[in-house]
Structure 1
């Protein structure tokens, strides 16, 4: 399991160049089915556009693709894909929608327009790194609940599901590189009275990036 940079949420940005309207849309995606669904939705939401130029990169299988969608070869999809590659972003789909304004831009102008729209879009997008985390379950008495939550927040350790029965059960997400620190801290803090149980692992943002 390796960390990688991705997009956390969808966003849009647009500009007008020589009367043509360029609308950039980015979506987080994790597989080809999500890519196709997002492309379908964009065509529905932005009907009658002249071009739907797009590029995507999927971390699973290291897949990437771009398309010019009728623009001269290499003037649309390639500049958009370059933005994703340069920023090393995975699991993201960028679509640049063009409503033609009647003025031909030429190959150089199209490359700058599509690439520039994608760059401006990603400058404003919510981007961050997914990092391997261990998931621990902690079971403790109710008097431990508030102190634990307080210190988890101070250490920027994200919490997950909670269950309140005879005791409190809660999940905490610990970055792999902080695993030893977490175990030593908890043993000292709870005077060995709380033993965390590792229940899995996942990729997620550092909690201070949420």
Structure 2
């Protein structure tokens, strides 16, 4: 995870998406899934194979941030006609932590190597085009302990940053729990410290990826 967090942002599916493409009576069903690790990839592939158990081929490609994994499979189709073009669709869209499967129901007409390549690429592209692709960014969880007389200053300042307030507690002081976009964090620290004369300094809790 430490290597993965070196990235500032990455694009990934916000949920599953599906497409249907027909070519010379063959049906190509594209399915795009978010997948964070090999275990999820394997489970999703098993799910697709069970869902379409009568299909002839389940070709796929996936990309994972962890260890920079990229893999593809032609699943019995001629080498290079399915898995590779599917992987290239993910690469071109800069999508990672994702599995893209194209299931083929054979229609009785041979498409040839070039026809297969175009059909698999098209089905994969349609699945990506119909998906909700989100940008995950490096975020920092932090806590601000704010005296009541400075709370108004902080309230007026926060809308200038990409962040979420996850908790606010009014006790002896006001305690704010924030998730801040990583690229905004140091600017927030500097402004909070300066405008409160050092009486409020954000306390960093952890870094992680999130969607803001």
TM-score with structure 1 length normalisation? Answer: 0.83
C-alpha contact (below 8 Å) 2:161/2:184 kept by paired residues: no
For 2:102, the equivalent position in structure 1 comes to: 96
Instruction: Tell whether 2:170 aligns with 1:175.
Output: no
For 1:8, the equivalent position in structure 2 comes to: 14
For 1:29, the equivalent position in structure 2 comes to: 35
SS of the aligned residue for 1:202 comes to strand
For 2:62, the equivalent position in structure 1 comes to: 56
For 2:126, the equivalent position in structure 1 comes to: 120
In the TM superposition, residue 195 of structure 1 has moved relative to its aligned partner by: 3.1
C-alpha contact (below 8 Å) 2:59/2:82 kept by paired residues: yes
Task: Mark the runs of 5 or more structure 2 residues left unpaired by the alignment.
Answer: 1-5
Aligned counterparts of 1:24 and 1:89: Cα–Cα separation in 2: 15
Number of aligned residue pairs: give it.
Answer: 205
Instruction: Tell whether 2:50 aligns with 1:67.
Output: no
In the TM superposition, residue 156 of structure 1 has moved relative to its aligned partner by: 3.0
For 2:205, the equivalent position in structure 1 comes to: 199
C-alpha contact (below 8 Å) 2:63/2:97 kept by paired residues: yes
Instruction: Tell whether 2:86 aligns with 1:80.
Output: yes
Aligned counterparts of 1:184 and 1:13: Cα–Cα separation in 2: 48
In the TM superposition, residue 94 of structure 1 has moved relative to its aligned partner by: 0.2
Aligned counterparts of 2:74 and 2:152: Cα–Cα separation in 1: 55
C-alpha contact (below 8 Å) 1:152/1:158 kept by paired residues: no
Aligned counterparts of 2:99 and 2:138: Cα–Cα separation in 1: 23
Aligned counterparts of 2:12 and 2:33: Cα–Cα separation in 1: 10
In the TM superposition, residue 80 of structure 1 has moved relative to its aligned partner by: 0.2
Change (3 A) 1:49 1:170: farther
Aligned counterparts of 2:49 and 2:88: Cα–Cα separation in 1: 23
TM-score with structure 2 length normalisation? Answer: 0.82
Task: Mark the runs of 5 or more structure 1 residues left unpaired by the alignment.
Answer: none
Change (3 A) 1:147 1:114: farther
- The RMSD of aligned alpha carbons is 2.6
